[in-house]
């Protein structure tokens, strides 16, 4: 007996969709993006995101078949 899995390819979400999720999670516009080459990855680019923001993004990502990636970038002070 062989097993086969039905894998649905990840779809690209529009900037408007990602920005809507970002705002809903307390992030700024553009801080949440989806990798065009690795469509299953959704990237959160923010200096020190809160635990609540991470949980919010993770829930949305998993619900949409995506894997969240958190990039903690320390931006220089202006």
pLDDT tens readout for residues 11-60: 899 999 999 999 999 999 999 999 999 999 999 999 889 999 999 999 99
Residue 43: inside a domain: yes
Q: Which domain holds residue 56?
A: 15-72
Residue 61: inside a domain: yes
Residue 36: inside a domain: yes
Return the C-alpha torsion angle 32, 33, 35, 36, nearest 10: 170
Q: Of 16, 78, 22, nearest to 53 (Cα)?
A: 22
**Each residue's pLDDT tens digit, 48-78:** 899 999 999 999 999 999 999 998 777 677 6
Cα separation, 40 vs 68, in Å, equals: 8
For the whole prediction, is pTM greater than 0.75? Answer: yes
Mapping DSSP to helix (H, G, I), strand (E, B) and coil, where does residue 53 land? Answer: helix
Residue 2: inside a domain: no
Return the C-alpha torsion angle 28, 38, 73, 19, nearest 10: 0
DSSP 7: P
Residue 40: inside a domain: yes
Residue 4: inside a domain: no
> Structurally, how many domains does the chain consist of?
1
């Amino acid at each position: 007996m062989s097993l086969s899995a039905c894998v649905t390819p990840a779809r690209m979400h529009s900037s408007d969709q990602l920005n809507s999720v970002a705002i809903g999670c307390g992030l700024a516009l553009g801080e949440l993006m989806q990798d065009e080459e690795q469509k299953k990855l959704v990237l959160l680019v923010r200096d020190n995101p809160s635990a609540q923001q991470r949980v919010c993004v993770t829930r949305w990502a998993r619900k949409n078949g995506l894997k969240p990636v958190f990039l903690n970038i320390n931006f220089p002070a202006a």
